[in-house]
Structure 1
Amino acid sequence: MLHLIAKAVERLLPPALHRALLPLAFHVRHRWRLWRGTRLAGCAVVIENGAGEILLLRHSYGPRGWMLPGGGIDRGEEPEAAARREIAEELGIELSRLELVAVIEEVVSGSPHSAHLFAATSTARPRPDRREVIEARFFPADSLPEPLGPVTAARIAAWKAQGRARGTGRG
């Protein structure tokens, strides 16, 4: 419910103002997580386009590197539903099929984090929301852009280790 209220408030703000406020909100949320150390749950999706390319994006806030699409899982929300919601909200893509690849235990903002990593295929052109996501593009899985943060690199490595990358014979 809180997520729906926050999204309604966000949509009332002009995109430029929303984008300008996101770095402050990110900083506050990061500090809060460091102080609380509360366990978090999130999702990330490796979206392949069928040509051996995967979708990466850049946010208007936080680290400036390229990342996999995804986000937080709301209380009571199923990980797959959260992944679908995040992809639809931020990129305008409806995913027909998601496959759970792994649940990765990591640390995000100083808090323990369980990342539900999914794989999907889509040929849809991403339409960044221009609020949270400022750029989204497909890149060859064997030639990813820099900078690529360590969390994103580890998630992509987990996806590749499951034989998901094109040309591995299992994906």
Structure 2
Amino acid sequence: MLHLIPAPLHRQLYRVADGLRKRWWVISRPRRTSVVVLAFDEQGRVLLVRHSYGLRVWSAPGGGMGEQEDPALAAAREFREELSCELSNLTLLEARELDISGSRDTVHLFAARLNGTPRPDMREIVEVGLFDPAHLPADCARLVPSHVELAVTALKSGALKSEQR
């Protein structure tokens, strides 16, 4: 049903909702679970995105998980919803707890291979870019460089071949 809202209005609503959500998290300190996906193309470049809300930095795609949702299925779902693209060789790299804008978030970090051409939904994601992991853009989200380094290590070790999704 949200697809019925014109994209420019949808982007504005994301910005408003993001601000309200962060204020609420500071007060309520919720426990959440989420996924982050570092997807690599055939040339070994990593896909980063710019969201329509929050800081306009390059970050890895991802999002919240539903209650009792499998992390790998959530990662594939979020990627498909936001970028109209599938993944292959989806591999869990780590799960750790982080404080994100006041929420206590268990983040499941995945690496994967791109299977198709990612296209931003122009609602939540407004730009995509493929970057050489050794030359990430200067305006990356704080955790992107360390996450990319972890994923590149997994790539080099051959770890991205275990979970086909």
Counterpart contact for 1:126–1:137, Cα < 8 Å: no
Give the counterpart letter for 2:87 in structure 1: L
| Residue of structure 1 in register with 2:162 after alignment | none
What is the CA-CA distance between 1:25 and the residue it aligns to? 0.4
Equivalent in the alignment of 2:154: 164
CA RMSD between the two structures: 1.5
1:97 positional shift: 2.8
- The residue aligned with 1:4 is none
Q: Comparing 121-130 with 18-27, which one deviates more in the overlay?
A: 121-130
Give the ranges of 4+ consecutive aligned residues of structure 1 lying more than 2 Å apart after TM superposition. Answer: 151-160, 168-171
Aligned to 1:107: 99
The answer to whether the 8 Å contact 2:87/2:115 transfers is no
Conserved? CA contact 2:136–2:145, under 8 Å:
no
Aligned-residue offset at 1:73: 0.6
Give 1:19-168 correspondences, 5 Å limit. Answer: 19-160=11-152, 163-165=153-155, 168=156
Q: Distance in 2 between matches of 1:109 and 1:134?
A: 22
Q: Please say if residues 57 and 133 of structure 1, whose CA atoms lie closer than 8 Å, have aligned partners that are also in contact.
A: yes
Contact 1:102 1:158 in 2 (8 A): no
- Distance in 2 (alpha carbons) for counterparts of 1:123 and 1:72: 22
For the residue of structure 2 that corresponds to 1:98, the secondary structure is strand
Q: CA deviation at 1:114?
A: 0.9
* Number of matched pairs: 159
**One-letter code of the match for 1:164?**
A
Any idea what the Cα deviations from partners look like across 1:24-45, whole Å, max 9, x if unmatched?
0000111111111011110011
Secondary structure, in 3 states, of the residue corresponding to 2:140?
A: coil
Which amino acid in the other structure matches residue 106 of structure 1? L
Task: State the one-letter code of the partner of 1:67.
Answer: S
Distance across 2 between alignment mates of 1:43 and 1:25? 20
CA shift digits 1:59-110 (9 cap, x unpaired): 0000111000111111121111111111001000112331111112211111
- Is residue 50–residue 123 contact of structure 1 (8 Å, CA) maintained in 2? no
Deviation at 1:153, TM superposition (A): 3.0
Residue 5 of structure 1 corresponds to none
* 1:21 Cα offset (Å): 1.4
Identical-pair percentage: 37
Structure with the bigger percentage of strand: 2
TM-score for both structures, normalised by structure 2: 0.89
Amino acid at match of 1:107: D
* Structure 1: stretches of 5+ with no match in the other structure: 1-7
CA distance in 2 between counterparts of 1:68 and 1:91 reads 12
Counterparts of 1:50 and 1:123, CA distance in 2: 9
